[in-house]
Amino acid sequence: MNKKRNKIKLHGSIFLLLALAACGAAYYCIFSSNTSQAIVYVPRNCPVEQLYDSLRSHACVHNMGTLRLVAKLKRYAGGTVRPGRYEVRKGMNNNQLINMFRGGLQQPISFTFNNVRSVEELAEKASSQFNFTKEEFMAAVNDSATQAEFGFDAHTISALFLPNTYEMYWSTSPLNFLKRMKREYDRFWNGRRLEKAQKLGLSPVEVTTLASIVEEETAKAEEYPVIAGVYINRLKRGMKLDACPTIKYALGDFTITRVLDKHMDIDSPYNTYKHAGLPPGPIRIASIQVVDAVLNYQHHDYLYFCAKSDFSGYHNFSRTLRQHNAYAREYHRELNRRHIWK
């Protein structure tokens, strides 16, 4: 009888040890640290097996066997992975890793754009940081139904974009990118800014259009409100804007230094030497700083300005055409002296 009891006890002990060993192995597979730090990008329609290949190439998973085992236990061994930019943190266990990919718990990126002249340039920059192509981005921007839904058209759509830093997901689609920009646009044009625009007699898009001209006129931030004041004075008097940057935009050449009579003959609605008022839309993506400079323009009686002949980047401002012409002759003499003909 004692022998039988001892045998039962022995078998029980062995079973307990095996059970404990199995529990220990399971715990090790599921909850032990198994990763190094890495950023992993998962494209659209990525199979789980392709994810494993990517993790292996990043050398961020120490034991792929245990990861595969846990994936099977959690029924995550087939199908596709949610696209995104994932941060594999040092010390993650297999359970956390599988939960992250299964839940699509990706990390956002900080996307900054500034000093971007055209929507095409923005598309180039965005496509280098998000999971879409330049062509896909431009197709979304140029979609007339989307433009109309957001309150823009082909001429004004660039006013939607406010240069800044935004946190977005790498897997963001072009349309969702535009929707985010629309939310930021609506947030920017709050009651205070709308009231200032109304006092100017301009819509938000018209303010942005004027800001785009001002930004092309000078690189000196302190001159933004002064030049804005010049153009607002012209608009109030019913004068044509005579803005050289609009000619350069119409010609598709912002490298022109001398705007000549032949340039001003171009037949374009953006030719502000021929057409009164503002052009149909912005000539560049205007910065927030310049938009605010227009809304808070400097009140003065200047009607003209001309680049200084010392090439400092600053301008001489004039109340009379006679004084302006004198500054212009001085500037052109310096262009001639420096053999700048274009």
Span 121-135, pLDDT tens digits: 999 999 999 999 999
d(CA 144, CA 133): 19
Greatest Cα pair distance in the chain: 125
pLDDT tens by residue, 186-232: 999 999 999 999 999 999 999 999 999 999 999 999 999 999 999 99
Higher-confidence residue: 16 or 247? 247
pTM exceeds 0.95 for this model? no
Q: Any idea what DSSP says for residue 231?
A: H
d(CA 235, CA 242): 11
Mean pLDDT of the chain: 92
pLDDT band for position 253 (cuts 50, 70, 90)? very high
Q: Is the pLDDT of residue 24 over 60?
A: no
Q: What is the DSSP string of 195-232?
A: HHHHHHT--HHHHHHHHHHHHHH-S-GGGHHHHHHHHH
pLDDT score for 102: 94
Among 23-37, 234-248, 259-273, where is mean pLDDT lowest? 23-37
Fold of 23-103: Dna Ligase; domain 1 (3.30.1490)
Cα–chain center distance at 111: 6
d(CA 201, CA 269): 21
Instruction: Please state the domain extents for the chain.
Output: 23-103, 109-188, 191-337
Region 8-15 average pLDDT: 47
- What are 183's two structure tokens? 């939310």
Please tell me whether residue 110 adopts helix, strand or coil conformation.
strand
- Return the bridge partners of 166, or none: 111
Q: Is the pLDDT of residue 301 over 60?
A: yes
Q: Is the pLDDT of residue 325 over 60?
A: yes
pLDDT band for position 79 (cuts 50, 70, 90)? confident
List phi, psi (to 5°) of 30. -85, -45
pLDDT band for position 154 (cuts 50, 70, 90)? very high
Region 73-101 average pLDDT: 93
